Amino acid sequence: KSKVKIALIIESTVDDKGWGQAMHDAIVAVQNKYGSSMIEYNYSEKMKPVDAGSAARQYASRGFDIIIAHGAQFKNLILELSEDFPKTTFAFGTNADVGPKNVFTYMPMSEETGYINGVIAGMVTKTNIIGIIGPVDAGDSARYNRGFWLGVKSVNPKADIKVAHTGSFADFVKAGELAHTHIKAGADVLTGAAQQATGGLRAVAEYKDKQIWWLGQDTLQLTMPEGFKVIAACSYDYAPVIEAMIDKRQAGVLGGENIPMTFENGGFVFKYNDKVGSVLTSAIRKAADQARADITAKKLKLDWQAIKY
């Protein structure tokens, strides 16, 4: 095996406790696994689309082998670059298309993680009101939220799921405001996607002694000080994707494949928070585990696109 140079381009930061960090941590994990003599890694954060274009071009011209533009908004850029640099492997996601022959795409099927969280939420809620804090209703947040909806309804058809959006991926303060609004309106279980969700979780943690809970879209949330409110969390594990890309490239396949991320192929990690105590009953664990098994075994089809809220 020869040395691989990997570059990552993201619009947020590598420590955003969400989207960006998940990918970064995965690459670092793979790097640790193979050793940094084998894998050289460099990243560019806070890249607006135009900046991403410059960075990707520069990485490509400076001999990077795999360039990951982590965000669906980078689709064009990658498609275009792949023509100019046919020897470089590019990757972007989330996207379900099959790209040109030197482009990998990856697609987290986030509705699966949403569904599991939804099952838990549907069983935990006492008020039968559940709040979702969306950034914008698009991309993998939309999938996650709708999967969550399906999950709740599967165990608790009467539950009232309130979906609201802040209109921004990064406005933590607004996410917090929205969480308070949900709680005032009676919600006792909340969830949210993208980095702004941390603001929502932080607001939930305010209600220290109340039975108000959070379901995380990132396992890192479990280890935060606010983690005592998180019943369980699901997150992406991109390491298999990265490894697959490295292996394929070494084998001469530069791209042209879509790598889905599912429970089945290890693209997701799911963790309970054992410290939350009695809310997390064994019945809930059982139901969630069952759901996960069904999804992994493809016994459960999640028609998330049918959900209109």
Partner 1 sequence: MNKSGKLAYNAAIVIAAAAAAMGIGAIVLAAVGADIGKAYAVILTEPLKDMIGITEIVVRAVPLSLIALGIAIAFRSGILNIGAEGQMLMGILACSATAIAGAALPKPILVPLAILAGAAGGAVWGGIAGVLRAKLGVNEILSTVMLNYIAAQFYTFLLRGPMMDPEELVTGSGTPQTVRMPRSAWLDRLIPGTRLHTGVFIAIGLAIVVFFLLWRTTAGFRMRAAGAEAKAARYAGVKVERYLVIAMLLSGAFAGMAGAVEILGVHRRAIEGISGGYGFTGIVVALFGGLHPAGIIPASLFFGLLLLGADMTQRLADVPANMVLVLQGAIILAIVSARQFINNPYVQDKLSRALAKLFGRAAPPAPPGSIEACPDPSDSPDPCLAGEPGVSEEETR
Partner 2 sequence: MNAGSFVLNILILGVPFSVALLLAALGETINQRAGIFNLGCEGIMAMGAFVAFLPPFFMAGTPQAPFANLIGLVLAIVVGALLGILFALVVVTFRAPQGIAGIGLQMLGWGVAGTLFRHYVGGVTGVAGIAAFPIPGLSRIPVLGQILFNHNPLVYLAFLLVPVFWYVLFKTPWGLKVRAVGTYPRAADSLGIPVARVRYQALALGGAMAGLAGAYLSLAQAKMFADDLIAGRGFIAVALVYFGRWNPVGVMVGALLFSLAQALQLSIQVAGIDFPYEFAVMLPYVLVIVVLALVRKARMVGPTELGKPFDREQRV
- Residues near partner 2 (CB under 8 A): 13, 15-17, 21, 131, 134, 137, 160, 162-168, 170-174, 176-178, 180-182, 184-187, 195, 198-199, 202-203, 205-206, 224-226, 309
Nearest to 262 by CA among 288, 229, 300, 232: 300
Shortest distance, position 55 Cβ to partner 1, whole Å: 7
Nearest to 130 by CA among 138, 140, 120: 120
**Partner from partner 2, partner 1, none contacting 309, C-beta within 5 to 8 A by type:** partner 2
Binding site for partner 1 (CB under 8 A): 11, 13, 42-51, 53-55, 57-58, 61, 72-73, 75-77, 80, 84, 94-97, 107, 136-140, 142-143, 167, 304-305
**Partner from partner 2, partner 1, none contacting 88, C-beta within 5 to 8 A by type:** none
Shortest distance, position 167 Cβ to partner 2, whole Å: 4
Query: For the purposes of burial, counting CB atoms within 10 Å of the CB of 228, is it exposed (0-12), middle (13-18) or buried (19 or more)?
Result: middle
Helix intervals (H) in the chain:
19-34, 49-61, 75-84, 110-124, 139-155, 172-184, 197-205, 220-223, 239-250, 282-296
Shortest distance, position 78 Cβ to partner 2, whole Å: 26
φ, ψ of residue 230 in degrees (nearest 5): -90, 115
The token duo for 130 is 């559940």
**Partner from partner 2, partner 1, none contacting 177, C-beta within 5 to 8 A by type:** partner 2
Cα–Cα distance between 221 and 226 in angstroms, integer? 7
Shortest distance, position 145 Cβ to partner 1, whole Å: 11
